[in-house]
Amino acid sequence: MSERPKVIYILILLWLSLSVIFVNWGSYSLSVVLQIPNWEKWLGELLPQLNFGYLISAIVWFVFSAVFILFAYGTFRKELWVWTTGVIISTIFLAIFGLMLGAFMVNAIMFLDMFSVAGLVTVVLSFIIDIGIVFYLTRPAIKLYFEAP
């Protein structure tokens, strides 16, 4: 068995960092789901839709967090599917983070509230981490490690 290149550990840390950010977003969504019943006097009939939306949001964030943990584990175990799927997923997330970045920038400028600013900061971090993942996945040492084309 050949020795792992050191950049593999950087890639694993990037996957895990993205997972931590997604857990934080999922935890926030879950905390909102728990607070929604207190908003009944303000929301009225919108309560079920808001509850459903935040619950789905929390589930999606936690699922993607688990997926990134699987990517980190698969990277450590030298699974070929990690390289192929990682390039596809990371490229898609770059587009998603780009859209989120635009939305949070507009929101932060218009409202300058804590949610918008914190969201903007985490989206910028996620975007930078994802750029790092794409960068490292395309490095020759990592492609050689995964025996990727």
3-state secondary structure of 37: helix
Of the pLDDT bands very low, low, confident and very high (cuts 50, 70, 90), residue 40 is: low
Claim: this prediction has a pTM higher than 0.75: yes
pLDDT given at position 43: 67
Q: How confident is the model at residue 17 (pLDDT cuts 50, 70, 90)?
A: very high
**Which ranges in the chain belong to alpha helices (H)?**
6-35, 40-43, 47-76, 80-111, 114-137, 140-146
The two three-digit tokens of residue 139, written as one number: 């490095």
Amino acid at 31: S
Rounded average pLDDT over 54-72: 94
Under the banding of pLDDT at 50, 70 and 90, the label for residue 39 is low
Give the pLDDT band of residue 23 (cuts 50, 70, 90): very high
Q: How far apart are CA 103 and CA 128, in angstroms?
A: 17
CB 77 within 8 A of CB 86: no
Interatomic CA distance for residues 75 and 90, integer angstroms = 14
pLDDT of residue 109: 87
Q: Rounded to an integer, what distance in angstroms lies between the CA atom of residue 127 and that of residue 18? A: 9
Is the pLDDT at 28 greater than 80? The verdict is yes
Question: Which band of pLDDT confidence, cut at 50, 70 and 90, is reported for residue 48?
Answer: confident
Rounded distance between C-alpha atoms, residue 121 and residue 47, angstroms: 29
